[in-house]
Each structure stands twice: as structure tokens, then as C-alpha cells.
Amino acid sequence: MHNSQPAPTLIERTGVAYFPLALVARLPFAMMVVGVLTLVVSARDSLQLGGISSAVVGIGSAIVGPFIGAAADRYGQRVALLIAAVTHSAALVALAFIAYSSSPDWAMLAVAFTVGATSPQTSPMSRSRLVLIIQNFLPPARRPKVMSQVLAYESAADEVVFVFGPVIVGVLATFFGPRTPILAAAALTILFIIAFAMHHTSAPAKSVAERAATLAPAAELARPSLLVVVAGIAGVGLVFGSTLTALTAFMQDLGKPEAAGLFYGIMGIGSAILAISVSFFSPKFTLRYRWLVFGVFVVAGEALLATASSTGQIALGLAITGIGIGPLLVTLYGLGTARSPEGRSATVMTMLGSGVILGQSLSSAVGGTIAENVGVAAALALPFLAAAFTMLAGVVNWLLTPSGSGRDV
């Protein structure tokens, strides 16, 4: 940095305010699935319908999310985010009122789908912005290290928000009623997503000529080496959702359902700390190795959870799962970034983000149904199956990326 022209840094390009803004702008997304579950269970008095509603939110987000990402790659993030923010807030407010109305369940589920479909994809958009800034403005020698740090930070930010989102929902619902978390998410969306959309880092629209030159064909999004990463990250979502549901069922049996969020925090805190540490790993510890190594921790932790008979064993299982899950998320986002077709960064990031939310919401619905109809022991076994699926995807990835192929990043 002693030369006359100091190399630009990422913070100089983004401004200091960018990171807290992008962090708070993620909160509505993290509150959405649990907020809908809480609202519907309270309004319609059915855990099963609550689980189905939150699954429908996740499915809406997973189906439409990548199209919002594709729109951002094509027309710029600002317009895509502004339209999403306004429609999402309106859908949340509508849901808060239709849930308590005499409308049939299918009408409420249709609104729940709209809530998911319009959800602003803050995390993927933020990742995509930072990746583009690093690729376009930083000196080539500094790019790999900064990229690793940014992906680690972004995953840690997601972790923090995914752990505290449900906690905030719990606090607001307990003190101010079940409708409050959804209305709070609507208000946060209008305030912070619009501010995030208007921030100067917002990826600009491309002209038709630029798009033709820099947009890889959509068919490249279906490459097996990219789809296996989407499968792996959906597996992480399955782990999140099934763990939270199993935990809630276990604590409900003990007569302490509100303690589930606190225990879930054990996994999240370790996970966030370890996610940040990923940027210090040696480059020799390649991403395909990391997937398998951290996958082992997740499988081991969830195996403990599946056989748990005490809260102590639950806490230990969650702590071990946390050691693996944070770095595993960073690894999967790293692979997704490395394998993104040119000009499709926001699309790939939304595919990955949608994979997490789809896995989370589907496993919440299935877990809730199994806990209610089969029992807690069966629900506790689901996170182990989800972890095994994630590990299997890691093995497939290993086979798809032979060493020295240049794709074993």
C-alpha cells in the first residue's frame, strides 16, 4: 500500500454503511417462514396447516426467486428489488389479515405463496454485488483472498439472521401478538429493502449489446457441476428446517416449546463463528475436500440429535452440527461463485438462496406432520437423513470434479 496509487479496497467501493444495511435488509426474509408458521398456527389452530403454509412460502420463493435474480442480471438490481419490496409488503399485510378472516384455507395458502414469490432476494443480491465489485475493481492478486473473506462474511451474516430472525418472531409474537412479526417484516421490507435497492452499489442494468456479450446462455445453468451445488445447499436447508421442527417438538414434550429458539441458537452461534474463520484456511484445503470434511461434522452432530434423550445431548449434537454447517454453507457458495456462467451471478446466487429456503420450508412442513402424527423420535431422525443427503451430494461433487480439472477449486 506504499505505492503512490494505493489499490482500491472493497470498503472504499461500497462505503461503510453498506454492510449494516445489507444485514438488516435480510431480516424480513429470515422472519418470513417462521412468522407465517406462528401466524397460521395461532389464527387457524393447526400445526399441520401452519407447516403447510410455511412450506408454500418456501416453494413460492424457490420457484420465483431465480427469476427475480435473472431480472436483476438483465434489468439491474434496483428495478427488480423495488418491485419485489412493494409487492412483498402488500402480500405480508394481506396475509396478516386473511389468516384471521373466515376465508377458506386455500385462499390463505394462495396469499402465502405470493409472500414467498415476491420475497426480495437480499442475500443473493448482496453476494452478487460484492462478487462483481471484487472481479471488476480489485487488483487480480488480491481477489481470491477478498472473495474468500466476503463469502465467509456473507454466510456468517445469513447465519446470524437465520438464527435471530426466528428469535425476533418469537419475542414479537409473545409480547405483541402473532400478527406483529408479519407486519414488522412488511415495515422492514419497505424501509430497508428500498434503501438497499437505492444504494449506489446496486448492480446497473445492461444494454442489449452488453447482455449479448456478457450473458452466458441460460442452458449453462443446468450443468451437473452447478446443479450438484444447488442440491447440496438444499440439503443444508433441509438440515435447518428439520432441526428446528424436531427441536420444537422435543421441547414441547418437555413443556418448554419457547426454549427451542434458544437451543437452535447453539448451532447458529458456533456456525457463524466458524463461517468467518473459513477465510483463514489454506488454499490447499480445496472446496471439494471442505464439503466432505464439514459434512462429517453435520452428520455426526445430527446422529447425536437423532438418539438424544436429554437436553444436554441435544445441546452437544447442535454444537457439533454448528461446527460443520457454517463452513459448509461458505464452501457451497464458493463453489457456486466459481461455477457461475458469465453474467449470471445474481441468478446463480438466487438459485442457491432458494435452495436453502425450499429445503428449510419443506422439511419444516414434513417434520411438523411427522412430529404430530408419528412422534418426536421420528422427527428427531429427519435431520440425520438431511445431513446424509448433503454428504451424498458432496460425494457426487467429488466424482464430478476430478483433481487437476481446474474445477476442484
Region 340-364 average pLDDT? 82
Q: What is the pLDDT of residues 5-52, one digit of tens each?
A: 566 788 888 888 899 999 999 999 888 877 888 888 788 877 778 888
Pick from 168, 159, 167, 309: nearest CA to 239: 159
In 99-223, alpha helices (H): 105-117, 122-137, 143-176, 180-188, 194-198, 208-214
C-alpha to C-alpha distance for 370 and 380, rounded to whole angstroms: 10
Whose grid coordinates read 438488516?
24
What is d(CA 133, CA 326) in angstroms, rounded to the nearest whole number? 24
Read off the pLDDT of each residue in 246-263 and give the average, rounded to a whole number. Answer: 78
Contact, 120 vs 64, CB < 8 A? Answer: no
Average pLDDT estimate for 76-100: 95
Total number of residues shown for the chain: 409
Q: Which of 114-128, 212-226, 380-394 has the highest mean pLDDT?
A: 380-394
Per the CB < 8 A criterion, the answer to whether 22 and 14 are in contact is no
- What is the C-alpha separation between 29 and 34, in angstroms, rounded? 10
| DSSP state string for 70-112 | HHHHHH-HHHHHHHHHHHHHHHHHHHHHHTTSS--HHHHHHHH
What CA–CA distance (Å, rounded) separates 240 from 247?
11
Q: What is the grid cell recorded at 198? A: 437505492
Instruction: Tell me 202's DSSP state.
Output: S
More confident residue, 166 or 137: 137
Grid cell at residue 91: 402480500
Task: Give buried/exposed letters for 59-91 (b at 16+ CB in 10 A, else e).
Answer: bbbbebbbebbbbbbbebbbebbbbbbbbbbbb
Question: Do residues 98 and 108 make contact, with C-beta atoms less than 8 angstroms apart?
Answer: yes
CA 228, distance to chain mean position in Å, is 17
The model's pTM is: 0.79
Helix axes 122-137, 77-98, angle to 10 degrees: 170
CATH fold label, 17-400: Growth Hormone; Chain: A; (1.20.1250)
Q: In terms of pLDDT, which residue wins out, 88 or 127?
A: 88
